[in-house]
Amino acid sequence: MITDADFQIDIDNKPENIDKLAEETADRMAFITRFMPFRFYQIDIYETTKGYHMYFWSEGSRPKPVEKVLVQMALGSHYRREIFNYKRVWSKKEPPRWNVLYQYKYNDENKLSSKEEKTNNAIKLEEQIIALYTVKLERK
């Protein structure tokens, strides 16, 4: 999906307990917030065939591309995706579109194999993560 989100996270598995995923994500967000010059203020999550796509918006300093890769990996994004992203932004000239999660994926036979969907699990995750993150920030 083409988006203005600051961070795009690709989670390539579906844990049986999404409460644990929410807790881990909120912990990571709070930890990152302590050391980076920005704060998260919005999350948009979609369920995919394999897992979840998470989109995060932040306020404060605008992250540089290499910082985006670091934060995305710290938030649990698929490590291979982030290593490829790192290779893309390591060069002196930033590519115009390097940080993309695809809303639709097709297999070798050109049949739809995955798509982002706003499911009840995705909505529950959004709500839990923001609530937990807010509480963790208040405890600082």
- pLDDT tens across the length of the chain (140 residues): 567 899 999 999 998 889 999 999 999 999 999 999 999 999 999 999 989 999 999 999 988 889 999 999 999 999 999 998 898 888 767 666 667 676 667 677 777 667 889 999 999 999 999 999 999 998 86
Residue with tokens 């995919």: 48
CA dist., res. 72 & res. 129, Å (int)? 16
41: containing domain: 7-138
- Residue 81, in any domain of the structure: yes
Is 2 within the bounds of a domain?
no
70 falls within a domain: yes
**What sections of the chain are H helices per DSSP?**
18-35, 65-74, 79-90, 120-138
Q: Is residue 1 part of a domain?
A: no
Q: Tell whether 73 is covered by a domain.
A: yes
Flag whether 77 is in a domain. Answer: yes
Cα angle for residues 40, 130, 74 (degrees, 5° grid)? 55
User: What is the reported pTM?
Assistant: 0.86
38 in helix, strand or coil?
strand
* Terminal CA-CA length for the chain: 34
The tally of domains found in the chain comes to: 1
Long-range pairs, 17-20, Cβ under 8 A, ≥24: 18/121, 18/124, 18/125, 18/128, 19/128
What percentage of the chain has pLDDT greater than the value 70? 89
Is 94 a domain residue? yes
Average pLDDT of the chain to the nearest whole number: 88
Q: Round to whole Å and give the CA distance between 43 and 33.
A: 15
